[in-house]
Amino acid sequence: MKSFILHRNTHITAALCILIALMIIKLDSISALFSKITLLSTLQFLFFTFLFSSITLFAKKEIAKRFPETSKGLGVIAVIMFVTMLLSYYLYTIKVQPGDSDYQTTIALLISSVLVGSGWWVQAVISKVASRKSHTINTLMTQRNSELFYNKNKSISDAFGFKKTINENLAKKTILPHHADVSDKKIKDEYIDPARSVLYILNYYEFICSGINNDDFDTHLIKDCLSGIILDIEVRYFYYIKLARSNDGKNSFENIVKVVDMWSSSGSMILRQEKGEQIGNITTSFTCDDDFLEDKVSSPP
């Protein structure tokens, strides 16, 4: 019941019903009003309507071209402006009598209020976009200047390279150390830190992708700077993401998966596999566990 009351169609229907009832009640007055309409007044109204609609559409197009961020709300602003000008035309041509300054003042206040409100909204949107872009640049520069991030990324590249997908059993041992497949194995000492650093890198890019999905970052700027890296993240750390999602639920690294699905021409491999698609070989991968894992040494009795 509550959703029905709050639904916009309910209010539109109620408004139309009330309008029809008013028209029926005022039928005589409406008939008298239409009887006074002449060909000249009709042509004047049509001229005003088409002229102002063309000006409104032109202004909307130019503002959206100059400031693309405003395109979503400009349609509403344009409709409000158009309705305001039609109402003003009605008041001025029908209601205003010679020497009557009250309606003229009302019309001037109505138009100026709409213009001021529209200008404030456009300026607020532009300021928000500028703030978001500044925040994005600061985040990117923080990453670039972060010694910790650099060291984590370097340890991964030194240990595993850039082009290969990290071994599935190594991912299992890092995320699920007691998994049956690797319970009798341990990570070689030189690969312990790089294997754990993968989770740090994944969590960082999950933060970045969360900002993209929630419009906290400038998407175009992030895409220009990091699209290749983020798409490569899913390939290199495929098994880390897959195991985390199978163990902790679909919310794990959901933002990375969502962004990859949006930006990749073939969609996210994780989502495709979760839907049952056979994706074949991911890329050249490390298949030899002996490179990274070794048997646990049993403790002496």
Length of the chain in residues, anyone?
A: 301
> How far is CA 301 from each of CA 184, 210, 296, rounded to the nearest angstrom?
18, 51, 15
Same structural domain for residues 99 and 160?
A: no
Same structural domain for residues 16 and 65?
A: no
**Residue 95 within any structural domain of the chain:** yes
Nearest in space to 225 (alpha carbons), one of 265, 252, 263, 254: 263
Is the pLDDT at 263 greater than 50? The verdict is: yes
Same structural domain for residues 52 and 89?
A: yes
- Overall number of domains in the chain: 3
**Residue 282 within any structural domain of the chain:** yes
Mean pLDDT across the stretch 176-187?
Answer: 84
% of the chain residues with pLDDT over 90: 19
Is the pLDDT at 144 greater than 60? The verdict is: yes
Which is more confidently placed, 210 or 22? 210
Highest mean pLDDT (candidates 40-49, 111-120, 218-227): 218-227
Is the pLDDT at 72 greater than 80? The verdict is: no
pLDDT at 97: 58
- Give residue 6's pLDDT band: very low, low, confident or very high (50, 70, 90): low
- The tens digit of pLDDT for each residue in 285-298 reads 555 556 788 787 54
Same structural domain for residues 230 and 107?
A: no
Average pLDDT for the chain: 82
**Residue 300 within any structural domain of the chain:** no
Same structural domain for residues 232 and 249?
A: yes
pLDDT at 209: 94
Among 128, 156, 189, identify where a domain stops: 128
Mean pLDDT across the stretch 206-216?
Answer: 92
Among 77, 96, 128, identify where a domain stops: 128
Q: State which residues form the domain around 14.
A: 1-36
Is the pLDDT at 203 greater than 70? The verdict is: yes
- The tens digit of pLDDT for each residue in 76-120 reads 888 888 888 877 777 777 665 555 566 667 777 777 888 888 888
Among 75, 93, 128, identify where a domain stops: 128
Same structural domain for residues 165 and 270?
A: yes
Same structural domain for residues 20 and 53?
A: no
Same structural domain for residues 227 and 248?
A: yes
pTM score > 0.75 for this model? no
End-to-end CA distance of the chain: 71
